[in-house]
Amino acid sequence: MPHDLVAKSDPVVHTYPPVSRSSQKAIDAADISQIFEHGFLFVGDAPLPILLPSNYTAWEDALTRAKALPVKLNDSSRAAEAWRQSVREMPVLSISLLKNDLRLLNLARGVLTFLQHFYIHSLPDARKPPHAVIPASLAVPLLAVSRAVDLPPVMTFADCNFYNFRLGDAKGPEHEKEILVQHTFSQTADEMQFYLSGLLIEREGVRSVRVMSDLVQHFAKDGGARFRRTSYRSCER
């Protein structure tokens, strides 16, 4: 690699075993039936939890503080440097309490990738890559979580969309509840709407997937598919 991604000042090498076999089966199975119900917005039959277990409060607090400042691009302010220093001083946390729960792993990825972006993009230009390093407090757990879910240790579309929302508190079916974005970098309505657009498209896509599924069944000469498809379209009208 052209430059280190983990701060060399951390003398301890942390390794984590791969996700357990039972958890891996759950990940691999991904239960295709839930895709027809919720698309990729839910893991299993529910959205991600809003917060990580209390053992990981340091990550949550760091993200809350970054948004509250807010930390900005090329931010050389005292407040931003103090925030970055606090991130460098955070302990390197084990993911042992997360590794058997896919929902928590995905939530942790979202928090850690947001923190990573806040950290690296807030650095003044002179300290940007290839000379910058990501503190071990972020890099080590992010690498471990990413390995567990078989994704690269960088922010993906899923991290800032599918793992970055909560449902409104109004009563009613979950597929009808308001979708609220959890985290943004700029704390602006424009960025929030950008993420929300992808989430709403995903929700609407679920209905299309159901129709396509019925069509496949119909083409396979499933006599009931035509009736279900017609009923669905009648309800939509």
Residue 169 lies inside a defined structural domain of this protein? no
Q: Tens of pLDDT along 104-159? A: 999 999 999 999 999 999 999 866 667 778 999 999 999 999 999 999 999 999 89
What pLDDT does residue 130 have?
Answer: 72
Other Cβ atoms within 10 Å of 99 Cβ, number: 22
Other Cβ atoms within 10 Å of 85 Cβ, number: 10
Worst-scoring range by mean pLDDT, 22-26, 65-69, 216-220? 22-26
- CA atoms lying within 13 Å on the CB side of residue 230: 6
Query: Which pair of structure tokens corresponds to residue 151?
Result: 């994704």
List, in order, residues 6 or more apart from 224 with CB less than 8 Å away.
Answer: 217
Let me know whether 152 and 181 are in one domain. no
Residue 11 lies inside a defined structural domain of this protein? yes
b/e map of 130-161 (b: 16 or more CB within 10 Å)?
eebbbbbbbbbbbbbbbbbbebebebeebbbb
Residue 168 lies inside a defined structural domain of this protein? no
pLDDT tier, 33 (very low <50, low <70, confident <90, very high otherwise): low
* Number of domains within the chain: 2
Q: How far apart are CA 38 and CA 47, in angstroms?
A: 9
What residue ranges in the chain does DSSP mark as E strands?
Answer: 165-167, 179-181
Q: Tens of pLDDT along 165-201? A: 888 876 666 666 788 899 999 999 999 999 999 888 8
What is the pLDDT averaged over residues 5-14? 37
Write out the residue range of the structural domain in which residue 15 sits: 1-30+38-158
Let me know whether 20 and 64 are in one domain. yes
Which run of H or E residues covers position 159?
helix 157-160
